Amino acid sequence: MQALIQKYNVPGPRYTSYPTVPFWDVSTYSPSSWIKSLQKGDASREISLYIHLPFCESLCTFCACNKRITKRHEVELPYIEAVLKEWNMYLEILQEKPVLKEIHLGGGTPTFFDPEHLKYLLETLKSSCEIPEDVSYSFEGHPNNTTVNHLKTLSSLGFDRVSYGIQDYNPKVQIAIHRIQSFETVKSITEQSRAFGYKSVSHDLIYGLPMQTLEDVIASIHKTTELMPDRIAFYSYAHVPWTKGNGQRGYDEKDLPSAKLKRQQYETGKIMLEEKGYIEIGMDHFALPEDELAIAFQTKTLHRNFMGYTTTKTDKMIGLGVSAISDSWFGFSQNHKNLKHYYESLAQNELPVSRGHILDETDLIIRRKILNLMCHFETSLENLEVITQLGIKNDLAEFEMDQLLSIENNTIKVKPAGKAFIRNICMAFDLRLKAKETESQLFSMTI
């Protein structure tokens, strides 16, 4: 395994989309081409909504998300009004009344917002949509500031899934990443969530953090499994200090676990979780067998998009708010990352989009292959004639030689040992990554 880690530990995407954001072809993108892609395809009115709520009261230094640090809560209502204005623009574009299948509140810290402000935002959004019975509404909560009122208010609006960012319980690691919260706090909010009827409570853990030892990971998983959350996201820390606006410049590679230790942290954690009955799902995720995510994985209905793994599949996913990314299946569009620019576009009655990508025929073929690999650990090799010149078969033959996958009846199946290298296997299909050389590192390491 150590030889494979050395061989495959290279910078690589996490494939929440294909093409990945750094390789979008902005020359073919415009607001009008994005709108046209939204109106393309089948006639389904079903949509998913991602709402980016960027504000945080303090900076967590492990985080590379788009956020704005402030303790001034008067920023809440102007931001909500801006998001609602953006949504009204999309209602005109969609023309027909949308069927709202899924909502996810991400950030930033969604629970930075007052529950009454969230209620105003969500009730206004929902009032403009048709609401089916099989909805999926979720939010990301900070254990330190998610209140009983948050849980009660969001539950009354149909939310039944919540994800809490835990990361690690060792105080030394918590100080390094500026995310300090006690086990007692996490236990309390987990129990309160269940009391309010949240059918799926998830905890996020990260391995490979600065100052983090193998013993830290073991201890954190022991504590986590005392509470038995329905889902556990067990992420690899993505060290991307060159990304603007994050706090990762406060430590460097010498403070991080080695690639060998980092892999050991994951493999040990995986064994511990499986011994407790969790099923490994896709990349970085575990769920109890009765959880919807585990069922979707077993029935091959699991989906992955910019919100992560989901049981809900809609061709249209609209991202509202600063830096949010939308997906029409045929195109991607990202809003301005700068809050001032986001507000300025809306003030001029323009969609606050800044860049995007319209997928061509080859992109759509590769996108499906990578999505299948990320969700099901298998994909067919059909319809790849358009990209045979890329040497995909040679790359796959090497993975097969390393016992990471098998190829039978024109189908790739990732072996258990290959799951740790799923990002590398997907990279074999990545036309745009292969075609574009870059001198700067764009992605975190795959291991």
167 is in an annotated binding site: yes
Q: How far apart are CA 264 and CA 81, in angstroms?
A: 47
* Runs of H (alpha helix) within 310-421: 339-347, 361-376, 392-401
Annotation-wise, does 63 bind a ligand?
A: yes
Classify residue 81 by burial, with Cβ atoms within 10 Å: 0-12, 13-18, 19+. Answer: middle
> How many CB atoms are located within 10 Å of the residue 195 CB?
10
Is 204 marked within a binding site?
yes
Residue type at 288? Answer: L
At 269 the three-state DSSP class reads: helix
Degrees, nearest 5: CA angle 355-356-358: 150
Closest CA to 319 of 103, 91, 79: 103
Is 355 assigned a ligand-binding role in the annotation?
no
Q: Residues of 107-134 as b/e, b for ≥16 C-beta within 10 angstroms?
A: bbbbbbbbbebbbbbbeebbeebeeeee
Distance CA 167, CA 185 (A): 14
Residue 109 assigned to a binding site: yes
Is 129 marked as binding a ligand?
A: no
For residues 439 and 9, the answer to whether their CB atoms sit within 8 Å is: no
407 close to 392: Cβ distance less than 8 angstroms: no
Contact 399, 405 (CB under 8 A): yes
375 is in an annotated binding site: no
429 is known to lie in a ligand binding site: no
At position 427, the amino acid (one-letter code) is M
Residues listed for the chain: 447
Q: Is 107 annotated as a binding residue?
A: yes
Q: For helices 183-195 and 214-227, give the axis angle rounded to 10 degrees.
A: 30
Does the annotation list 50 as a binding residue? yes
Give the strand pairing for 136-141 and 99-107: parallel
Q: Is 411 annotated as a binding residue?
A: no
Q: How far is CA 425 from the centre of its chain?
A: 19
- Nearest C-alpha neighbor of 291 from the set 309, 307, 304: 309
Annotated binding site: 50, 56, 60, 62-64, 107-109, 140, 167, 179, 204, 238, 325
Binding residues for [4Fe-4S] cluster: 56, 60, 63
Residues within the annotated binding site for S-adenosyl-L-methionine?
A: 50, 62-64, 107-109, 140, 167, 179, 204, 238, 325
